[in-house]
Each structure stands twice: as structure tokens, then as C-alpha cells.
Amino acid sequence: MFSPTDAEQRLQALWGKRTLIAGVLNVTPDSFYDGGRFFTPSDALRQAERMISEGADILDIGGESSRPGADPVPLEEELRRVIPVIETLSQQVDTLISIDTYKAEVARQALRAGAHIVNDISAMRADSAMCQVVAEAGAYVILMHMQGEPRTMQKNPTYANVTREVLDHLLQQADQAMEAGVPRHKIWLDPGIGFGKTLEHNLELLRNLRLFCETGFRVMIGASRKSFIGRLLGDLPPEERLEGALATLALAIAQGVDIVRAHDVQASVRTARIADAIVRGV
């Protein structure tokens, strides 16, 4: 099992050399693309092994769908879905593990089970104990912007200046995390594509990713197969959005993004390697 120190050494060795790929592993029955496909522990473990073989640097494991309109999952059910998978993976694989949750207790138990990173779609707003949990564990945290909550976030998202408002919010939450004892280098920012944003908001954020990267924080983007890609391609379903996701990935890397969250690991790794060769010279 990786300790927090091992995880930090691994990440420090990778930063700047290439874009990191976080493989999405939803242990849920209702996620927008892979819901139900990896719901059983055995299916989840097989998919994890496949993503690792395809080059995933991080496994991002979630037990509650955050698709637009999704209902919350009770704490005990979320724990039942994710903890056995994390416990098994932490003993069997040599890969960094992220827990995708906004609940402090899920994060606490996941970190004890072997996770190294907390991916919080609420940027630590949903649960006031999250900062303390992350700080005490010595974990990394991904602060994502979301307007509203998954159940209501797409009903009428409104901004005066979406880039400025999202960036200011994330920097405010990063300050809060640092005040709680989370080191600056362990805080990553995610503008939250598709989380309380219209098509135009998403495109504006993607055009301005460089501003997020210029803050000095590591930046993650999660646009894999999302609905804005489907809309741009004539309302294609999630199953037909791969090319759009890869185009978004390459353009994000060109602006300095460090981590990409992806359902399609092999295709994303290959795309990132070409983009890295052009942009980073590696």
C-alpha cells in the first residue's frame, strides 16, 4: 500500500514530465456514461486493472453519480460501494487512488483504506469537516467548481463573468484548505466543466484554462464524453463523443493543464503523449 509519503514522491517525480491521466471508475448504477457497467466489486476491479494496463496514472473511484439531475446517495450505501474496491486495489496495484466524494466520512474511510487523493466536486463546501480530514491524512485534494448541486445545477446556471467567478471561487476555497493545514502543492483546481454551466460557459472556461494554470496550482480538467460535446456534434449520445473528448484533452494540455480525467484511458494516454511532445517537448 502506498503511504502519503510514497504518493507524494510518485507525483513529484511525474510533475512536469507529462500530463497525468486519471481513469474514471464509477461504482454506480446510474452514471451518465458507464453507470452499471462496473457496479459489482469484481467488475470494478477488472476495469481498474484494464485502465492501469492502458497507462492510467490515477484511478478516480466514485460511488455516487454527479450527472445532472442525480439524487444524493446515502452515506452507508456510498461506503458500501467504494471501500471494498479501494481496499483491494490498494493491496494489489501500484497506482495512485483518488476517491470522488464530497462527504468527509467517505473521504476519511477511503484514505484509511488506501486512497491518496480526494476529488471533491463541491470544493469542500458540502461538508465542513472535509478540510480537516484531508489535512490530517496528508492527502492531496482536487477542488472542483460547481454551481448548485447535481440535482439542480443545470436548471438555469447564471454568471456575470464565468471565468472570473469560477477562478475566484476556487482560489477562495484553496485559501480555506491551506488555512486548515493542506499544503499548497497538494491542492489541485478543476473548473468543473458541465457542473452548473451552459454550453457557452463550458466553452468560455475551456478557452481560458491558461488563467487557471497561471495561478501556480496544478489544474485538472474533466470533460470526458460530456453533454456539451454531444451538443456541438449534433446531439450525439455519450457513446459517440470520444473524438470530441480527445480534442478537448489536447487543447487543454496546450494551455498547461496537468491532469486529465478520462473514461477512455488508452485513447487519452496516446493523445496526451502527442500533445506533450508538441507542447512540453517530452
Active centre residues (catalytic): 226, 261
Closest CA to 133 of 112, 157, 154: 112
Q: From residue 120, how far is each of 102, 170, 180, 204, 272 by CA, in Å?
A: 5, 12, 16, 22, 24
Q: List the grid coordinates of 173.
A: 476555497
Q: For cell 477562478, name the residue.
A: 167
Q: List the grid coordinates of 255.
A: 494551455
DSSP labels, 146-197: -SS-TTTTTSS---SSHHHHHHHHHHHHHHHHHHTT--GGGEEEE--TTSS-
Buried b (16+ CB within 10 A) or exposed e, 160-189: eebbeebbebbeebbebbeeeebeeebbbb
Alpha carbons 115 and 118: distance in angstroms, whole number = 8
Closest CA to 149 of 103, 109, 189: 103
Alpha carbons 38 and 270: distance in angstroms, whole number = 24
